[in-house]
Structure 1
Amino acid sequence: MASRQKRKAAEVVEELPASQNVIAQFKSVDGESTGPPLNLPVNATPDQLEMLLNQLMNTSDDPQPYSFYVEETEITKNLWSDMKTKSTEESITIVYQPQAVFKVRAVTRCSSTLSGHTEAILSVAFSPDGTQLATGSGDTTVRIWDLNTETPQHTLKGHKGWVLYIAWAPDGKTLASGSMDNTVRLWDPKTGKALGDGLKGHTKWITCLAWEPYHLNSKANRLASSSKDHTVRVWDTSMRRMIMSISQHTAAVTCVKWGGEGLIYTASQDKTIKVWNSSGVLVKTLQGHGHWVNSLALSTDFVLRTGPYDHTGKRFKTEEEGQKLALERYQAAKGKQPERLVSGSDDFTMFFWEPEANKKPLARLTGHQKLVNHVSFSPDGRLIASASFDNSVKLWDGQSGKFIASLRGHVGPVYQICWSSDSRMLISSSKDTTLKIWDLKTKKIKLDLPGHLDEVFSVDWSPGGDKVASGGKDRQLKVWRH
């Protein structure tokens, strides 16, 4: 059997054009060798390498897409032009990484502009399965929009102050909103009715919300809220009571994340990030930033957000089945490594952490000229994108934190970024009234999406990849499609 594989691989190698050769060994990201060392022509292209690797792995009937790296440089043209050390004497290692099998198409046009909000839209979010869309606004309301007809569906009234943040429960059955009126409210997105009264306890406004991941709790009834009052509160949403209050920060808490291992991460204007276990006990304090910490991202964010739902739109029958699916997706996304965390700050830098393993940062990511407003891991965890008030978006390696590229094109501060679910594209929203879609292969603008009449505060790409929604100061919600 092995000899037939070798023979097939040799045939593919022979088909490549004659030129100088180099000895190359394919390795997976985890460092496992695939196949024997091969004598490859130096002008082998990524497509030829992909064909060869699929032969070696015996998947040529159902070929998988891969990207290839030599010494951490991606092979985009051919081995010779992308290799750092030009030598055919030494053998090289080609590290391959599988890419998403499905492809998301870039959204190209605005399919509808929806008005209704009477103040700026501050938060836009698709539900975990991508079938529902919600917006939170300075007009104190939350709105749910019908994505099939692209019309307003429900207006959720109850807050007395600006709605600063909205978050879908991982099962998509509850929507939470946090407001400047110091309360968290829960809504039934299907009927648009409030689930009881506001959750009271915070003494200042709510800055961020995070639900417990579905694979840890399929009842989806635990929610963490962070506030300017220096505390984080964890609520039982079915009993509508506070389970615990976490209060060791000495300034406003700007961001909260609930990780896949049950840890809660909080970032604060006291320059620290704190890690808590699910009983509210402080596990670690991550220090290093010289100014407010604005944004946190986990390498598993995408699977935690989508839980049991993947791009195929498959439905699960029971809660147990859903939880099992969510756990499988989480474990596949996490791989053999600990969950990684990246933090962006007003000190113009980002830090890269593995909080489960170590309280020292793995890397300090420098290069932005102004504050870092938003950080985000790609769904496959391989890249980090950061948005800054220096008008740029920067890309970093999701394993090492090394700088990859600057994406320039915006002429105003960039507020938010969001990845397509196949990790091949990135969309950014800016003060300059535009959205831009970036192609990760070329590191260039793929599409410019003008149309908003003022600053675009918030953008979200649906988990299935077919729609983008954006909102901002012009009070209009725009839905974009192919």
Structure 2
Amino acid sequence: MSYELKHVFASLPQMERGVAKVLAGDPKGNNFLYTNGKSVIIRNINNPAIADVYTEHPHQVIVAKYAPSGFYIASGDVSGKIRIWDTTQKEHLLKYEYQPFGGKIKDIAWTEDSKRIAVVGEGREKYGAVFLWDSGSSVGEIVGHSKVVNSVDIKQTRPYRLITGSDDNCTAFYEGPPFKFKCTFSEHGRFVNCVRYSPDGSRYVSAGADGQIFMYDGKTAEKLGALGGAKAHEGGIYAVSWSPDSTQLISASGDKTVKLWDVASGTAVTTFSLGSDVLDQQLGCLWQRDHLLSISLSGFINYLDKNNPSRPLRIIKGHSKAIQCVTVHKEDGRSVIYSGGQDGHINYWDAETGENEGITGKGHSNMVAKMAVDESHRLVTCSMDDSVRYTDLSKKEYSASDLVKMDVQPKAVSVGPGGLAVAVCIGQVVLLRDKRKVFTLENLGYEPEAVSVHAGGVTVAVGGADGKVRLYSIQGNTLKDDGKVLEAKGPVTDMAFSKDGAFLAVSDEKKVVTIFTVADGYAVKNDFYGHHAKIVCLAWSPDNSHFASGGMDMLVFVWNVNDPEKRIKIPDAHRLHHVSGLAWLDKHTLVTTSHDSCVKQWALKI
């Protein structure tokens, strides 16, 4: 019994309106990286479905940068911690950890010999530091600013120079090492969001919230002019990135465009228009070899096309907020994974290639709590926006007629044959048939938490916060209490009948999964112990002899129904994030989702 990680479908960057996002590349030009929550995500630039996730920061990570050697990455978080870790090993061993100042780290820069690191941000006493990577010893001071420093860069050729840009509308210039303050420039009328040196070190630029880009001599800091004259963009500029040959650069702006500049003439050669919605504001960019990338406020990563500026070559989509639930469905012989997020967004993924897209149209406006696919190939979802939705998977778009409004907030939904679905809401159990509410049970005397419909479509099991499971029979369009109550070990968190209807699995807050045998009048078959914290989700394998459980302890177990000792334990399935959803692609492949916004596939040898 063993397992291996087969695929990671990574989260998008976590975006905030009006806040720049640093998108960084590796020195070889194969990967790019960004942050989301406590994770640093490394993706292959040619095939973004190939991803690696680093999750060792205890706090939200803001920025990560490769060392020019390519062997290490430095990442900084909101608490002011810098972690320097290895890129060559799968374990990403920690090399050094420092706390240069107390407060959010916003940008990082390395010297070209990978020996010195500059960090800037929202310190309490100071807004930046420069130190040796292997000892933490200071090699200069970052002074001269009166507010938060947003951006830093170091000239990649000797003699070294360092530049910073701040909320005090100024850029500062330092000579070194050790780096000493030389002068400041206050050309910008608003915050300076980004400063970047050209790869050859001959020039550097500063870009600001005033829509301007100024250019300076890389060695002397003499001002050389402004790109685009009085204004480079109509909106604030959040990021710039140079071409590898130092002759061009791209800039990303809140005016929803990215511009490609010819540095010698100071004019825009190409303007990439990326939409008209507020979510199309561009907050980050990267020029990596032949690839031009930008990030929208939506979190989408755009691969820009120089030959067709009105339409990106490809757009990488996914989740930027926590994933709450998952299910799978076979379509035209291919397995498709559906995942629902805390923000109401539903994404679907080709299980083999990782190609993904969101369901189109106006959908849920709040967290998707549970989802299932019925026999009519409809995705049935319930959400904290007090609704249950039916989405036709052949069309993959929302429709207003597929919305069923609930009286109160639904927590879970389960589907059965003949267009049947049962939703448990706060204080209610609701029977639905063919997209209509047909029966509601109220005044239950307990709080329902989980539900599962038997494959035969005649029995519904409802799990309560009182640690009991009640069985109801479906009679036409009504639910009748069978008077049968099963005892769980604690408040029920999830439950599921096996595909063949032989067993009922119930998980609870007391970290136990109990299996009941349906044919024996729901006699207890086995209790399964192993989790260290509340179990959140359950899923049966297609062969009905195994099931998986996931919990707040970041553990996933794959159990053998007949032998609780025979199990596969996947520790840290989503490190530092609890497992939120489970689904089986086939009897040897398990899908897990989590609050780290990633979808993972595990190959199991059972």
Q: TM-score, normalised by structure 1?
A: 0.47
Q: Which has the larger radius of gyration?
A: 2
More strand by share: 2
More helix by share: 1
Q: TM-score, normalised by structure 2?
A: 0.38
